[in-house]
């Protein structure tokens, strides 16, 4: 009797779960009129930017009447959501991917190699090389950058004029100018971001390598000596500060609030400053040369295709349109991002633009923020410890030694098999 009872329960449970699972599986939507519907996932952005993307997508749908694009916005924890959905087999067909996450995802094989989709008239050579290299591995291309931004020196024109300093051209000039611009702890000459994403090129300016063979390599003399002046400017000169020292969220806000006269910021800061702090008259210049060399960071985001997508040809049509000459021109025309295609940059004339010019000028010599699949572990540990040196809790070497040991321990554990 008991056996039968259990049999019934199990049978009902199985039927129920089977029907539920079947319900989950039938998520494939086929839109009316024989159109192929593909999903494009990205993170949320400003209303203006969203409107622009909608416009680009409308253009695409008009020129490709058989394809319908469903745009999905993942408002928060973008990578967590994307990874989880990819694991569950419910990933979008096409999605944004930050360059720093690209090597890790490429290794797992969830991204579709795009080589055999690319046609000659797509003109790969038109892309800025460093921006496209981060989406490549072993001769395969896994994504195309939709745009990029470099860092440039943003400065408060009025403050520089009142202090009687020229826009600094070298890092030494920047330190000297900061001294003149600093007013106690009310206004700092230079707003700093003590994290690896912003200091990577500074750390490597003496020829050291921050990441070597996928391992953290912070404690070589080249790297330590390159970073020490950055810390000294905060601790000894007291002419630089991080955002939390003055109650700001990021350096762009420091500049806008008039708490820093100069900051290194990217393209994204320009519309922010114009809309939030319209009274600040700021200028842009190339990042001052460091040890006689030009250097800056570049951040880029690409469109990639889900290897599990069932509508690959349509997905490629979308990627090739969005990163193609026409789509990119529309997308970058409102200056939210800079075009990764040289021809588009030239056509839009951004290289001669007084505000964007210095950002575009940085592209050829910029260090792209992406370095193998272990970079997330490395930069997390760097950021954590660098701050303790930055606020003078302990010497730089000691802090970075601990960060390096911790990062490499984690990486060894991660890679062990």
Partner 1 sequence: MNRSVSKRAFKEAAQGYLFLLPTLFVLLFFIIGPIFYAIYLAFHKVQLLGVSSSEFTGMRNFTRIMVDNRAHIAIWNTLKYVIIVVPIQTILSMVMAAVLNAGLKGQKIFRVIYFLPTLTSSAVLTLIFMWMFNQSGLINELLSAVGLPIYNWLGDPRVALNAIMGMNIWSTAPFFMVIYLAALQDIPSSLYEAAELDGANAFQKFWNITMPSLRPVTSFVVIMGLIGTFQLFDQSYIFSAGSGGPNNSTLTVVLLIYQYAFKNLGTMGYAAALAMTLAVIILIATLIQRKFSKEESLN
* Residues of the shown chain interacting with partner 1 in the complex, contacts defined by CB under 8 A: 1, 4-5, 8-9, 12-13, 16-17, 77, 79-80, 83-84, 86-87, 104-105, 107-110, 242, 244-247, 307, 373, 376-377, 380, 383-385, 387-388, 391, 393, 402, 405-406, 409-410, 413-414, 416-417
- Name the residue among 350, 368, 348 with its Cα closest to residue 358: 350
Q: Strand 94-98 relative to strand 297-305: parallel, antiparallel, unpaired?
A: antiparallel
* CA count, 13 A, side-chain hemisphere, 82: 28
Q: How far is the CB of 150 from partner 1 (least distance, A)?
A: 23
Q: Which residues sit opposite 150 in a β-bridge?
A: 298
Nearer to partner 1, 246 or 366 (CB): 246
Nearer to partner 1, 4 or 32 (CB): 4
Nearer to partner 1, 266 or 362 (CB): 266
Nearer to partner 1, 86 or 163 (CB): 86
Q: How far is the CB of 4 from partner 1 (least distance, A)?
A: 7
Q: How far is the CB of 383 from partner 1 (least distance, A)?
A: 6
Task: Quote the Cα angle for 221-227-228, to 5°.
Answer: 85
Nearer to partner 1, 78 or 336 (CB): 78
Q: How far is the CB of 168 from partner 1 (least distance, A)?
A: 26
Contact between 144 and 337 under an 8 Å Cβ cutoff? The reply is no
Provide DSSP, 263-304: EEEETTHHHHHHHH-TT--EEEEPPPBBTTB---EEEEEEEE
Provide DSSP, 114-141: -GGG--GGG-GGGB-HHHHHTTEETTEE
Q: How far is the CB of 180 from partner 1 (least distance, A)?
A: 24
Q: How far is the CB of 82 from partner 1 (least distance, A)?
A: 10
Nearer to partner 1, 57 or 246 (CB): 246
Rounded Cα distance between 1 and 220, Å, is: 75
Nearer to partner 1, 240 or 338 (CB): 240
Q: How far is the CB of 148 from partner 1 (least distance, A)?
A: 23
- Name the residue among 310, 296, 302, 287 with its Cα closest to residue 204: 296
Distances (CA, A) of 404 to 103, 256, 361, 369, 380: 21, 35, 33, 19, 11
């Amino acid at each position: 009797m008991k056996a039968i009872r259990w049999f019934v329960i199990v049978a009902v449970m199985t039927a129920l779960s089977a029907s539920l699972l079947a319900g989950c599986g039938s998520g494939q939507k086929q839109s009316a009129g024989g159109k192929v519907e593909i999903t494009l996932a990205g993170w949320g952005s400003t209303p203006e930017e969203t409107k622009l993307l909608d416009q680009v997508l409308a253009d695409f749908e008009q020129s490709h009447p058989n394809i319908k694009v469903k745009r999905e916005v993942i408002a928060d924890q973008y990578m967590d959501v994307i990874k989880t959905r990819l694991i569950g087999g419910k990933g979008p067909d096409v999605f944004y991917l930050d360059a720093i996450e690209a090597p890790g995802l490429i290794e797992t094989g969830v991204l579709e190699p795009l080589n055999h989709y690319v046609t000659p008239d797509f003109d790969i050579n038109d892309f800025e090389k460093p921006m496209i290299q981060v989406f490549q591995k072993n001769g395969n291309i896994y994504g195309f950058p939709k745009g990029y931004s470099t860092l440039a020196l943003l400065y408060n024109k009025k403050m520089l004029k009142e202090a009687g300093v020229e826009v600094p051209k070298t890092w030494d000039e920047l330190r000297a100018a900061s001294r003149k611009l600093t007013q106690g702890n009310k206004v700092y000459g230079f707003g700093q971001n003590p994290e690896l994403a912003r200091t990577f090129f500074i750390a490597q300016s003496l020829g050291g390598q921050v990441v070597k063979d996928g391992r953290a390599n912070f404690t070589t003399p080249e790297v330590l000596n390159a970073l020490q002046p950055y810390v000294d400017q905060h601790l000894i000169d007291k002419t630089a500060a991080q955002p939390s020292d003055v109650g700001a969220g990021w350096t762009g806000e420091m500049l806008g609030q008039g708490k820093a006269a100069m900051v290194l910021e990217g393209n994204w800061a320009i519309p922010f400053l114009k809309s939030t702090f319209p009274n600040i008259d700021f200028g842009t210049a190339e990042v001052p040369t460091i040890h006689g060399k030009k250097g800056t960071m570049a951040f880029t985001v690409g469109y990639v295709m889900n290897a599990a997508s069932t509508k690959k040809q349509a997905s490629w049509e979308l990627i090739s349109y969005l990163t193609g000459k026409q789509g990119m021109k529309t997308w970058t025309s409102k200056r939210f991002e800079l075009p990764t295609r040289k021809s588009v940059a030239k056509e839009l004339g951004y290289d001669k633009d007084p505000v964007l010019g210095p950002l575009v000028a940085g592209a050829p010599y910029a260090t792209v923020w992406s370095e193998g699949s272990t970079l997330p572990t490395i930069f997390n540990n760097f950021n954590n410890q660098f701050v303790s040196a930055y606020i003078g809790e302990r010497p730089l070497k000691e802090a970075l030694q601990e960060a390096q040991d911790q990062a490499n321990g984690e990486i060894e554990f991660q890679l062990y098999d």
